[in-house]
Amino acid sequence: MLSLCLTVIDAPDRRDLFTALYEDYHTVLLRYAMSVLTPTYKSYAEDVLQDTFIAVARHIEEFEKLPPERQKAFLLTITRHKAIDFLRKEARQVEIISDSEWATDTFVPVESMISDEGYTRLCHLIRSLDDIYRTPLEMNLLYGMDSREIGEWLGITAKNAGVRISRAKEKLKQLLLKEEE
């Protein structure tokens, strides 16, 4: 994937920047893509990551303008959007189950998916939060980042990051209560 993306970039210094971004954040972004995708689609995280890095290669000049401490947050945002785009595309496709699939183990009955229902519901509710709250909450819950680290990545104070996390949790709690009514 790296060599494919490098063919899109013309300037050597931009290639170096792209290579550094790829090497520094590939693993983190892969885990993040897996966390955004529903359990059914976790195996497609590499595809989402490939789409992410192709987009980065096409717009590498934007990353040159960003200070290094903001690049990771921008990469996480792109990855989240690519994962959501993938899920939307998959949701539009209707799969017809053949008689032979009913008779084999390739078809998964609804009963086996019930355990993932709560997780999927929670992920959906988190994704429904505004970016201003969702991003710090995801950074806190998924990556174990504290308010200081989140503040540095987002370019806000640690106190502001903590307030956003607290408000995100409160909004999430309200959404859960509202959904149960």
Each domain of the chain, given as residue ranges in start order, spans 1-94, 115-181
pLDDT tens track for 63-109: 888 888 788 888 988 998 888 888 877 766 544 444 454 444 444 44
Is CATH 1.10.10.10 the classification given to domain 115-181?
Answer: yes
Percent above pLDDT 90 for the chain? 15
Query: pLDDT value at position 36?
Result: 85
Handedness of CA 157, 161, 166, 167 (dihedral sign): positive
Rounded CA-CA distance 120/125 in Å is 9
Contacts of 58 (CB under 8 A, 6+ apart): 8
Structure tokens at 77: 């945002």
Residues constituting the chain: 181
pLDDT tens track for 125-160: 888 899 899 888 888 877 677 888 888 888 899 999
What's the CATH number for 1-94? 1.10.1740
Rounded CA-CA distance 162/160 in Å is 5
